[in-house]
Structures are given as structure tokens and as C-alpha cells.
Amino acid sequence: MTQIIDGKKISQEIKDELREQVAEQKKLGKEAALAVIQVGTDPASSVYVNNKKKACAYIGIGSLSYELPEETTEEELLALVEKLNGDASVNGILVQLPLPAQIDADKVIRAIAPEKDVDGFHPENVGKLVIGEPGFVSCTPAGIIQLLKRSGIKMEGKHCVIIGRSNIVGKPMALLMLRENATVTIAHSKTQNLPELCKTADILIVAIGKPQFITADYIKEGAVVIDVGIHRDENNKLCGDVRYDEVAPHTSAITPVPGGVGPMTIAMLMHNCVESMLQ
């Protein structure tokens, strides 16, 4: 029987735990506040930003909203980040990605004070992950680890193939899987014999960015499949990188899209905001 990994339910469990933790901290006079910056009006980004603000309200974290016009310059955005770095009432700073073409996202990420970098994208936090020191971890890969742990799926000794090598998902995912004692392979656009390689995976994590790319031909019978992709199909229905209906019967566990990895990204952002408050 295939286990459907319910990201909505697990993310709600995490948010409920955080809500209790925040309530306890409030009694001790501690407050958390997240600054949420969006540049432009990309509809998907607006949905994610609104969901982040809603999650803050649910958990009891304050949120400060900065909605900047599409034509905002890099200097203007850097000046805002600098101001928020120096604001003691702000624990976390989030700059929603992607940014418009005139702004260098890497430069902006580096400008965020590492102790307020609740997205876990700053090189200092990435470096801490590499050497196994505590620091903020990128929310999507951290959420996937929680999905697996809370679904009772063992990672130790398993062969985990990750398709995608982005700084935000693929690379931190590989480091987190290593931390869990999995044997890790990262595949990417230049990898040869991808279906054969994927067929050796006990755990297959797909962040390839191509709608419904992964078919049953890529799956070892009984593997665990985690789908990081979010796209709209020809009927405007949400779908992932995995052809779910075809793949699911061959797996022991799989994440759906929507309702799998996506909600965990926001739950782990909230987790990082609470950690930031406790520092």
C-alpha cells in the first residue's frame, strides 16, 4: 500500500507546536517579528507571501509587510535590508524570490544579517550546514526531512538520489540527507542515464523544474518519492515534477502536489522565525 505523505497535516502539526512555544515565550516577555519583503506583483509570490503572513498571525509572530514596486532598484532594496538589520524589534528578514532582473538576488541575500536570515540562504548559514554547526537551514529541504521523519521513513543507509543542484533546494538537501546518514547522489541536467540512476534510489527527491517529467520508468519498486515541483498543467491545475498517477502505485510513499512539500516550506520558515527569537 502506498503511503501518501500529507504535507498539509504535518505542517499543521508543526505550526501548532510553534504556536504553543510562542505563547510560552510571550509569558516571558519575548516577541518575534518577521519582515516580509516582496518586490513587484508576481501572482504566485503574492500567494506565498500572504500565506507566510497568515502563518505568522496563526502562530503569534508579528509580521511587517514591505510591498515594493517592480522598478525598485538594487540600492533601494539593500537600503531597506540594512535598516531592518539594525532594527532590534525584527528577528527575521525574508525577501521573496524571484526578484526582478535589475536586482542581484545573491547580493541581497548576502546583505541580510545571518542571525536574521530565516530563509537560511546566507553563505554563513550555508557554511554552517556544510560543517554541521547550528544555523538556519533552507526551508524546503528542512521541510522534506521533517516530512520523512514524521512519516516514519528511515534515511540511514538508504540511497537518496536528488535531481536538481540549486543553492536553495538540491545542495542543502544533499547535506541534510548526509547528516541523516543516507548515501547521496545529486543528479542534474548533464547527468547521463538519468532513468537508470533514479531506478537505484530508495528515496528519490525531484526538484527538476519540469512539469510531470518523472514517469514510472524512473522508479525502483517500493521507493519513496518526494516531489518539490509546482507547476500549472494545460488545464491550469497544479502539478509537480512527477507524473503522480502513474508513479504512485510503484512507490511505498509519495508526496502529492499540492499538499506535499509546499506547505512544509512555510512551516519551516515559521520554525526558523521562532529559533531566531530564542537566540
Ligand X SMILES: Nc1nc2c(c(=O)[nH]1)N[C@@H](CN(C=O)c1ccc(C(=O)N[C@@H](CCC(=O)O)C(=O)O)cc1)CN2
Residues with a known catalytic role: 52, 96, 119
Q: Residue 211 is which amino acid? A: P
**Binding site annotation covers 164?**
yes
**Binding site annotation covers 166?**
yes
Q: Count other C-beta atoms under 10 Å from residue 75's C-beta.
A: 9
Count the residues of the shown chain that bind ligand X, applying the rule CB under 6 A: 18
**Binding site annotation covers 230?**
yes
**Binding site annotation covers 266?**
no
Residue 241 near residue 206 (C-beta atoms within 8 A): yes
Q: Which of 72, 162, 262, 271 binds ligand X (CB under 6 A)?
A: 262
The answer for residues whose C-beta is within 8 angstroms of residue 272's C-beta and 6 or more apart is 92, 118, 119, 120, 136, 137, 139
Locate all alpha helices (DSSP H) within the chain, ordered by sequence: 7-27, 43-59, 74-85, 105-111, 123-131, 139-150, 170-179, 194-198, 244-247, 261-278
The nearer residue to ligand X, 156 or 234, going by C-beta atoms, is 234
CA pair distance 213, 20, nearest whole angstrom: 40
Q: How far is CA 94 from the centre of its chain?
A: 13
The nearer residue to ligand X, 50 or 73, going by C-beta atoms, is 50
Rule CB under 6 A: say whether 257 interacts with ligand X: yes
- What string marks each residue from 199 to 238 as x (binds ligand X by CB under 6 A) or -? -------------------------------x-------x
Rule CB under 6 A: say whether 47 interacts with ligand X: yes
In whole angstroms, the minimum distance from the beta carbon of 171 to ligand X comes to: 14
CA pair distance 156, 197, nearest whole angstrom: 19
Q: Which of 96, 146, 251, 276 binds ligand X (CB under 6 A)?
A: 96
Please report, as ranges, the residues that interact with ligand X according to CB under 6 A: 47-48, 94-97, 119, 139-140, 230, 238, 257-259, 262-263, 265-266
Binding residues: 164-166, 230
